[in-house]
Amino acid sequence: MKVKLDKVTKKFGQIVALDDISFEVNKGDFVFITGKSGAGKSTVIALILAEIKPTQGEVWVNDLLLNKARSGKLLILRRQIGVIYQDFRLLANKTVKENITVALEVAGYKEGDWREKLNQVLETVSLGERSELFPSQLSGGELQRACLARALAINPKMVIADEPTGNLDPETIWQFMGLLNSVNELGVTVIMATHNFDIVNSMGRRVIRLDQGKLISDKKKGKYE
C-alpha cells in the first residue's frame, strides 16, 4: 500500500496544523514521522486514515483520492490498515480476544477463521494468557500489545502506529519494534509517528521530520534531530 500527500494544508479554525506538505510512502516502506508535540504528526495520520479531510491539497492511498472518496470505499480502506493508536481505542466492555475478533469480523473474516488468527496474533504479541481480560485489567504495555495484535490480525497492507511506545518500558519497546520490523519485512508498509529519538536513531529508517506543521526534512536513513 502506498501513500501520497500532495501540497496538503490542514487548518483547524485559525490554527494551521499542516502547512503545504508533500511526501510519498511506497509499498513496503518503513517511515518514521518525527517532531515535537504539536508538530502535526497525528494530523498526518488522521489524514491518511481519512478521519479528517485536508483544507487544501490531496491525500492519496494507492489510487484512491481520499478527499473525494465515498464513505463505503473509506471503510474498505480502513479494514486494510492496522492502526495502533496513542489512546489504544480498545472496546472497554470486550476482552482482548473479543476486541481482536471484532476487528476480524469487521474486516470480513468468517467465524471459522477466527480461532486460527486469534491464536496466531496472541502468540505473536505474547498475550495468550491475558486474552480473556478486559482492557481495564491490563497494563500500558499489555494494552499496546493488544492493539498491535488487533492491527496484525486482519493481515493489513499497512500498519500505522501513532506514538505507540509512550506507555512501554525499554525492553517492551524493542520487542514491539522487533515485531514491526518483522511485519515490514513481509512487505507491509509501516508508518510510525514518534518522538522517541532512541528508536529513530537506532533503526536507520526513513525519517520525515515535521515542525509546527511544516515538513523540515525527509531523509532515507535519517536521525532524530
Partner 1 sequence: MSKKPKVNPLTAAWHNLRRSPFQSFAAVTIMWLNFLVATSLVVLFFVFNSLLGYLESRPEVTAFLKDQTSQTEINRFKEQLESLDGVKEVRLVSKEDALKIYREQNKDNPLLLEMVNASILPASLEVSATSSDYLVGIADILKNETDLIEEVIFREDVVKNIGFWVKTVRNGGLVLVGLLSFVSLVVIMVIIGMKISAHREEINALRSLGATSFYIQKPFLFEGIFYGLMGAIFGFGIVFGAYFYWQEEIRNFLDPIPVLSISDRIIPIIFSIELVSGLFLGLTAAWLATRRFLKK
Binding site for partner 1 (CB under 8 A): 49, 51, 75-79, 83, 85, 89-95, 97-98, 100-103, 105-107, 114-115, 118-119, 131-132
Longest dimension (CA), the chain: 51
Burial of 21 (0-12, 13-18, 19+ CB in 10 A): buried
Rank residues 65 and 92 by Cβ distance to partner 1 and give the closer one.
Answer: 92
What span, in angstroms and rounded, lies between the C-alpha atoms of 224 and 99?
Answer: 34
Cβ distance to partner 1 smaller for residue 49 or 183: 49
Contact assessment for residue 96 and residue 153, using Cβ atoms and an 8 Å cutoff: no
Given the complex with partner 1, which of 11 and 94 has the nearer CB atom? Answer: 94
Using CA atoms, how far residue 64 sits from 21, 28, 61, 72, 225, in Å, is 19, 18, 5, 12, 33
In the bound complex, what is the minimum distance in angstroms from residue 219's beta carbon to partner 1?
Answer: 30
By CB neighbour count within 10 A (0-12 exposed, 13-18 middle, 19+ buried), where does 185 fall? exposed
Find the shortest distance in angstroms from Cβ 19 to partner 1. Answer: 26
Q: Are 88 and 161 in contact (CB under 8 A)?
A: no
Residue number with CB closer to partner 1 (108 or 140): 108
User: What's the min distance (Å) between Cβ of 46 and partner 1?
Assistant: 10
Closer Cβ to partner 1, 1 or 199, answer by number: 1
Residue 97 CB, shortest distance to partner 1, in Å, is: 5
In the DSSP assignment, the letter for residue 80 is T
Q: How far is the CB of 49 from partner 1 (least distance, A)?
A: 7
